Amino acid sequence: MANMSIQNLVYLNGSFIPIEDARISVLDRGFIFGDGVYEVVPVYSRRLFRLTEHLRRLQNSLEGIRLKNPHLDVEWRELLEKIVASNESDDQSIYLQITRGVAPRDHSFPEDVIPTVFIMSSPLLAPSKELVATGVSAITANDNRWLRCDIKATSLLPNVLLRQKALDENAVEALLLREGFLTEGSTSNIFVVKSEMLLAPPKSYLMLPGITYDVVLELAAAHDIPHEIRNVSEYEIRTAQELLLTSSTKGIMSITHLDGKSVGNGKPGKIFLQLYQLYQNYKSTVM
């Protein structure tokens, strides 16, 4: 339940402050170059979900941009738990960002610069029952992003444009195709069901290794849902029985329309319904 005495603080470079008071320099390399990485950690009933895995991915992203991790995992846990405690909602979406810091504008890495660390929380609103029951619409689009999509970089301009293209076409997500194969969504990972088999594109530099993606594959393995990790072609997407999207903020959703055409019978399918329920149960057991 919401606690109104809580102040909704953010964390910026050592201080817990109201967001209105949070200030960074216009020379921050996050602002100038998008030179930073981020994570989004879901919180259910005030518990950080899969924090160890999120911190491991953060470490990989930092190594990908050659930036030293400014905190040990125990320090991250402490900072994030303080943010959770100083925000009202029981279910939260924690956003954390690290940039290469403030320096005169120059592409080359600055020397001896302290990275900027920012953490904020927003209420985590689960997709409505109606949306879960009807499923969502998606479009396909050309994956025109760079070749290090495994790094959770703050420079998200291609993802922003792709997601807006989906919204402009009354859809919620863009399924990205690179050389005839599915990579992921603009803000989510994508699963495909073909001949009762759950298919997932393999992790590579072409997609973000989703934490929810891992949970879904673990649940499929634990509950004998036939699944395979392999490349999925555009043809297979267009003739799929089911399409699913996964992300920390949306959980699992069924895509029931693609480019204006029904996926299967246009309703959330059997495998979605099973995985959705398993995911809800799993979340409550780890709380």
CB of 186 to ligand PMP, least distance (A): 6
Q: Is 212 in the site for ligand PMP (CB under 6 A)?
A: yes
Q: Which is nearer to ligand PMP, 99 or 154 (CB)?
A: 154
Q: Is 41 in the site for ligand PMP (CB under 6 A)?
A: no
Alpha-carbon span 145 to 207, nearest angstrom:
10
CB of 210 to ligand PMP, least distance (A): 3
- The first and second tokens of residue 60, run together, are 């990989």
Nearest one of 249, 122, 114, 127 to 185, comparing CA atoms: 249
Overall residue count recorded for the chain in this entry: 287
Interface residue with ligand PMP among 101, 201, 210, 268 (CB under 6 A) is 210
Q: Which is nearer to ligand PMP, 97 or 264 (CB)?
A: 97
Q: Is 189 in the site for ligand PMP (CB under 6 A)?
A: yes
- Residues 120-179 close enough to bind ligand PMP by CB under 6 A: 159
Alpha-carbon span 104 to 106, nearest angstrom:
6
CB of 191 to ligand PMP, least distance (A): 12
Interface residue with ligand PMP among 94, 162, 208, 220 (CB under 6 A) is 208
Q: Which is nearer to ligand PMP, 22 or 156 (CB)?
A: 156
Q: Is 188 in the site for ligand PMP (CB under 6 A)?
A: yes
DSSP 201: P
CB of 195 to ligand PMP, least distance (A): 25
Task: Report CA-CA distances (Å) from 201 to 52, 158, 162, 177, 236.
Answer: 23, 20, 19, 11, 12
Per-residue contact string for residues 50-89; x = within reach of ligand PMP by CB under 6 A: ----------------------------------------
CB of 40 to ligand PMP, least distance (A): 6
- Residues 224-283 close enough to bind ligand PMP by CB under 6 A: 246-248
Alpha-carbon span 195 to 168, nearest angstrom:
32
Q: Which is nearer to ligand PMP, 188 or 256 (CB)?
A: 188
Catalytic annotation, residues: 152
Is 178 exposed, middle or buried (CB count within 10 Å of its CB: 0-12, 13-18, 19+)? middle
CB of 199 to ligand PMP, least distance (A): 16
Residue with tokens 């849902």: 225
Nearest one of 187, 188, 138 to 158, comparing CA atoms: 187
The beta strand positions in the chain, using DSSP E, are 9-12, 15-18, 36-44, 47-48, 92-99, 116-123, 136-142, 173-178, 181-185, 189-194, 197-200, 227-229, 242-247, 251-258, 261-262
Q: Which residues bind ligand PMP (CB under 6 A)?
A: 40, 159, 184, 187-189, 208, 210-213, 246-248
